[in-house]
Amino acid sequence: MGAPVAYDPAEMRAAQAEAARLRAACDMLKGAPKSSRDDPNFVESFFSASRLHFIGMWKTRLESLMLSGVIGGPTPNPGPGAQVIFHVDLDCFFASVAESEHPLFSGKPLAVCHSNNAKGTAEISSANYEARKYGIRAGMFMAGAKQLCPDLIVVPYNFERYQEVSEQAYKIMMACSACVQPLSCDEAFLDVTGLGDPFQLASRLRADIQAATGCTASVGIGHNLLIARLATKRAKPDGQCHIQEAEAASAMLSLELSDLPGVGWATSKKLASLGLQSVADLQAWSKARLQAELGDKTGAALWDASRGIDTRRVAPPAVRKSLGAEVNWGVRFDSPQDATRFLGKLAEEVWTRMGAAGVQGRSLTLKLKKRKEGVYNPVKFMGHGICDNLSRTHTFHRPAHSAATIHRAACDMLTSLHVPHADIRGIGLGMSRGL
DNA sequence: ATCCTCCCCTAC
DNA sequence: TAAGGTAGGGGAGGAT
């Protein structure tokens, strides 16, 4: 690592000044840090500043827009037979939006984060490719990032702008193909079967997105969703890549196990403990053996994935099965009444979202994070630290009919879990069944 | 067999 | 000081 480039000092000063101006103008950063302890509207202010909340809600929101036809509805994909799939992904989305709006930032290492504190535990949400040259990654604490790159330019979130850019990008994607499956604000699958030369189509799509938004997009092309997504990894940043069906098998062998869909941290560990180190190792196991070790579905899915087999289709949004709201940061209670009051806010939040979605529900789940024995000070400021996760579900005879009904059931479950109020580090409420 | 509950895991 | 959400799928184990 180390500095890949020497930046022009005057330009860097100007860029830093611009970033400082953006932070000063950011409403979210006004005032002292808030928690459930000192902010009566903590649930609301937390959600308005949470990037994970923004990301989590995006898909739901966009799917509603598509289902209601506001931004053009999806049509079914062309049916069985050879397909051509695009996986479209805007490059380091949040960072790109900032860079596109402020020419001073281009070519300099930049990250999106709530705090610029070089000693702090604020998490980096998005880092541009210049910053990545220093080893800076999403999820890193600011303290670590500033050690790697003291010159790092830190800009605050701009959720309104992300929304605008995302909608523009989606309009362009839907003009390219009527069959679009949203994955996130910055990522979608397109079925472009029969729409002409895929490489030209992808070039035009990327050019259109860049012209409209100032942000670059990468496109992976493949005969199924898995291969298309793999192709995107090769295409990034600001590129496109077509992995032909004939090369798919060898492409799979070049991957790490953790690159396979469904293989995260825990499954990687599990596979390693079984002596499986590579995709080739995985291919050597029979489907039955994988199923015996990992479960029926998981084993079969891995057997398929290791061979580049993926039978999913690009699908329109499905009917929602659950809806929930949770807060696992800044949760500190001084009394049982504090916890009860907080649950009331969450119940209102869930009830409001149910109303907005026009759904009902019969099953209410309470999720709790309980401080693990002996763990008092999380590494992350106001974080939940190391916790045990607990949950309880209550089923109503009739669909829940008010925030108060939800609140009452939630309080009963909270009581039944017997967690001292001072040990609670996170709370969530979710509604399911019969939505 | 088929459910339900209480988890865990994953992906974005 | 800083904003660790959301939804879906699946598995273990028990009840029906």
Encode pLDDT of A333-345 as tens digits: 999 999 999 999 9
Interatomic separation, CA of residue A237 and C1' of nucleotide C16, rounded (Å): 55
Which residues numbered 174-203 in chain A sit less than 7 A from strand C, measured from CB? none
Q: Report chain C positions within 7 A of protein CB atoms.
A: 1-12
CA distance A332 to A422: 7
Residue A119 lies in a domain: no
Q: Residue A75 — pLDDT band, cuts 50, 70, 90?
A: low
- The reported pTM is 0.94
Tell me whether residue A79 is exposed, middle or buried, using C-beta atoms within 10 angstroms of its C-beta: 0 to 12, 13 to 18, 19 or more: exposed
pLDDT of amino acid A62:
81
Confidence of residue A244 (pLDDT cuts 50, 70, 90): very high
Q: What is the CATH number of the domain that holds A346?
A: 3.30.1490.100
Domain membership flag for residue A135 = no
Q: What is the pLDDT of residues A360-409, one digit of tens each?
A: 999 999 999 999 988 788 999 999 999 999 999 999 999 999 999 999 99
pLDDT at A67 over 80: no
Facing residues of A370 across strands?
A388, A424
Look at chain A and report how many structural domains it folds into: 2
User: Among A169, A171, A1, A6, which residue's Cα sits nearest to residue A91?
Assistant: A169
pLDDT at A112 over 90: yes
Query: Is A403 part of any domain?
Result: yes
Q: Are residues A261 and A344 in the same domain?
A: no
Tell me the mean pLDDT in the region A177-185. Answer: 93
The average pLDDT across A169-188 equals 94
CA of A169 to C1' of C5 (A): 23
A80: confidence class by pLDDT, cuts 50, 70, 90: low
Cα A228 to Cα A89: distance, rounded to the nearest angstrom: 11
Look at residue A299 and tell me if it is in a domain.
yes
DSSP classification of residue A123: B
CA-nearest of A392, A322, A399, A397 to A353 is A322
Phi and psi at residue A342, in whole multiples of 5°? -60, -45
CA distance A168 to A226: 26
A256 shares its domain with A294: yes
Q: Does the nearest atom of strand C lie within 7 Å of A3's Cβ?
A: no
3-class DSSP assignment, residue A188: strand
* pLDDT confidence of residue A6: 84
In this structure, is residue A93 part of a structural domain?
no
Per-residue flag: A264 CB under 7 A of strand B: yes
Which bases of chain B are contacted by protein, using any atom under 7 A from a CB?
4-12
Identify whether residues A328 and A362 lie together within a single domain.
yes
| A176 or A60: which leads in pLDDT | A176
- Which residues in window 149-188 of A are less than 7 A from strand B by Cβ? 183-184, 186-187
Q: Are strands A363-371 and A424-432 parallel, antiparallel or unpaired?
A: antiparallel
Closest CA to A369 of A416, A405, A329: A329
Give residue A71's pLDDT. 61
A289-311: pLDDT as tens digits = 999 999 999 999 999 999 999 99
Q: Gap from A43 CA to C6 C1', in Å?
A: 15
In which domain, by residue range, is A273 found? 252-306
**How distant, in Å, are the alpha carbons of A122, A145, A434 from that of A37?**
20, 30, 35
| CATH at residue A256 | 1.10.150.20
Residues in Cβ contact with A122 at an 8 Å cutoff, skipping those fewer than 6 apart: A113, A114, A115, A141, A142, A381
